Amino acid sequence: MPAILHRRSFLAGLAGTFLGARSALSDTPNLLSSWNDGPARQAILDFVKRVTAENGTDFVPPAARIAVFDNDGTLWAEQPIYFQLAFAVDRVKALAPQHPEWKDKEPFAALLKGDLKALAATGEKGLVDILTVTHAGMTTEEFGKIVTDWLAEAQHPRFHRGYDELAYQPMLELLAYLRANGFKTFIVSGGGVEFMRAFAERTYGIPPEQVVGSSGVVKFEMGADGVPRLVKEARVEFIDDGPGKPVGINRFIGRRPIFAFGNSDGDQQMLQWTAAGQGARFMGLIHHTDADREWAYDRQSHIGKLDKALDEATAKGWTVVDMKNDWNQVFARGP
């Protein structure tokens, strides 16, 4: 939630809305089988081989095999708007019958009418109001259930399937491959931590305690009934994006990753932080180059802008995945 807030482009993204796992085993022939033979796949295989060879100079003990992944645009798609924003929009619509006053109150009136111009005019205050009614004022457990229920019902406007079915098959294979080689896999994302935890274990095999994300303030309350509650408040606590990502890694994980994957400039500092450690390192970026099967965007995109990080990756020889050429399959269920 707060990460959306942080990204200037949310209204452009919001506007877009209305327009519209197999597991890999180490050392088996079909590991990473959705990856075409090429430099990206080879770089992954080479790196894992180097850090797991017990007598090699680059050996890393399993406890230190920390791998971090951005979520939006890296593990699942992020177009035409961040999926968490799609959730917020759907949630406003679902709540509208209980809020007749929203008919005349911005940003809700514009959102409910689909009046994109008026919605955009509400600016950042409009977004904060939307996030407040959709992400705060309930317990953490109630919120988790709302997200789970939404995921079970909501359909992506282009692919007409559940949002969690838009996880990238090659990345699911990569996660499984790393875990099979002793890595501990983490999400480090600008997305809301409680939003992601609602599906990360089921979708990616990543348990809640290995999800790092943006968060709002949560407060402990003892109810008059003697039942304690954790209540989500409408205040940003932490933005896990850009320079916040190494900070989040330090805070939640407490040691530096040796493997990091992102897809946008918001991941640049995470990749820099990973790269600056001693010993063997892997830094990867997904370049969205496939308008037919997914989307093609980079330097000019409002969502998932990839510009400075792409330059740095090129200059420093980080691995850049060309989605069109490096992946023979994008989603688990075609294309």
Q: Residue 29 contacts by C-beta under 8 Å, 6 or more apart in sequence? A: none
Residue from 40, 86, 151, 211 touching a copy of itself (CB under 8 A): that is: 211
Tokens of 317: 């020889």
Residue 279 makes contact with a copy of itself by CB under 8 A: no
Q: How large is the C-alpha radius of gyration of the chain?
A: 20
Residue from 99, 125, 255, 333 touching a copy of itself (CB under 8 A): that is: 255
Interface mask toward a copy of itself for 1-40; x: CB under 8 A: ----------------------------------------
Which stretches within the chain are classed as H helix?
2-6, 10-18, 39-52, 83-95, 108-113, 116-121, 123-135, 140-153, 169-180, 193-197, 200-204, 244-252, 268-275, 308-316, 323-326
Residue 142 makes contact with a copy of itself by CB under 8 A: no
Instruction: Give the chain's length.
Output: 335
Applying CB under 8 A, the site for a copy of itself has a residue count of 36
CB of 142 to a copy of itself, least distance (A): 13
CB of 207 to a copy of itself, least distance (A): 6
Contact 156, 9 (CB under 8 A): no
CB closer to a copy of itself out of 66 and 77: 66
Which stretches within 198-290 are classed as H helix?
200-204, 244-252, 268-275
Angle at 318 between CA 317 and CA 324, to 5 degrees: 110
Contact 216, 2 (CB under 8 A): yes
Residue 49 makes contact with a copy of itself by CB under 8 A: no
Residue from 79, 269, 301, 319 touching a copy of itself (CB under 8 A): that is: 269
Contact 239, 190 (CB under 8 A): yes
Residue 252 makes contact with a copy of itself by CB under 8 A: yes
CB closer to a copy of itself out of 152 and 222: 222
Residue 243 makes contact with a copy of itself by CB under 8 A: yes
Residue 244 makes contact with a copy of itself by CB under 8 A: yes
Q: Rule CB under 8 A: which residues touch a copy of itself?
A: 63, 66, 140, 184, 186, 193-194, 197, 201, 207-211, 215, 218-220, 222, 227-228, 230, 243-244, 246-247, 250-255, 269, 272-273, 276
